[in-house]
Amino acid sequence: MELRPLGTTDVEVTKICLGTMTWGQQNDEAEAFAQMDAALDHGVNFLDAAEMYPVPPSAESQGRTEAYIGNWLHARGTRDRVVLATKVTGRSRGFPYLRPDIDDGETRLDRASIEAALEASLRRLRTDHIDLYQLHWPDRAVNLFGQRGYVHDPEDEAVALEETLAVLADAIQAGKVRHVGLSNDTPWGVMRCLALAETRGLPRMVSIQNAYNLVNRSFETGLAEIAMRERIGLLAYSPLAGGTLTGKYLDGRKPAGARMTLFGERYPRYFTPPAKPAIRAYVDLARAHGFDPAQMAVAFAASRPFVTSAIIGATSLAQLETNLAAAALTLSPEVMDGIEAIQRLYPDPCP
């Protein structure tokens, strides 16, 4: 499988990354092991997790995903064969079980929170270092997870990026983290972090993990140029838009055990009024050219010049095999023209 440089580092990651957020909720440990085995057999060297996984998050399940990965790394002896990424939770009062002893249960990107999160992730992952440690979302108030408009709060007492980056610098110095990245961030956040790296000698962000798919190409406005010019590539999550781009939810269908069947109320961004005709158009385009709709969607995300890796997730090995096969798919100019025509008709219905 094609390898691509992770930012300006000497680390190379596969164009497909294995996402893990269903492990510990929709998938048990044996199924997680089988997925990691299959991905490794297909040449994937990149795993992405988060301290708060699985999703939907809960006090009972939190940390299982990282624990499954750690147990697999230990059982298979594969630590030196994978680039291991995880995330520290951004600012929120929604997960008091993550920081019960600090910050009044609020997750922050300050020293106490990051150090506690990092140590816990290292224990669960059964490793002495994390290759890519990402800030899951900013400490400051930004428009996240489908919110279109930005509302500025001049009274927002966000943790300064200088403090956050200083903690990450110490983690790198201690050998616990190799590289750092952003997630769910904005053009201002990326450029501010890069400026601090240049002027203060703080760690340089090497990647940004944001949503990107056929029905959400908002990354192309502002962030894509930064990704290309500054070599801070996109790790594209949700290339299937929560599975909706497979077409399995069209016409009101609710497949048993599927994520949107179980937790659809948590993902309103993929069920906006213009989403349905857009998704149907992409599914029809794929089938007209003899493609599996899921493979076309993943192949599109992975083909973009600003994308370092497309993060795929699955709840079954059959789904995983389908998604992995997209790595070998090349979309013709005719297909790309069709995609652009649909984008013009239904621009980013699921930001």
Domains of the chain: residue spans and CATH: 3-209 (3.20.20.100)
pLDDT at residue 101 in the model: 86
Torsion of CA 317, 323, 329, 332, to 10 degrees: 140
pLDDT at residue 98 in the model: 95
Token couple for 217: 């190409």
Token couple for 267: 């993902």
Name 210's Cβ contacts closer than 8 Å, sequence gap at least 6. Answer: 183, 184, 185, 219, 223, 234, 235, 236, 237
pLDDT at residue 96 in the model: 93
* CA separation for the pair 264, 243 (Å, rounded): 11
Task: Work out the mean pLDDT of the chain and round it to a whole number.
Answer: 96
pLDDT at residue 318 in the model: 96
* CA separation for the pair 148, 314 (Å, rounded): 28
* CA separation for the pair 41, 56 (Å, rounded): 29
pLDDT at residue 22 in the model: 97
Residues in the chain with pLDDT < 70? Answer: 103
pLDDT at residue 264 in the model: 80
Token couple for 117: 């999160």
pLDDT at residue 252 in the model: 87
234 pairs with which residues across the strands?
Answer: 208, 307
pLDDT at residue 102 in the model: 83
CA angle 87, 90, 96 (to 5 degrees): 105
Reply yes or no on whether 212 is catalytic. no
Torsion of CA 258, 264, 266, 267, to 10 degrees: 90
pLDDT at residue 269 in the model: 87
* CA separation for the pair 48, 301 (Å, rounded): 17
* Cα four-point dihedral sign 28, 30, 31, 36: positive
pTM value > 0.85? yes
pLDDT at residue 97 in the model: 95
Q: SS3 for 199? A: helix
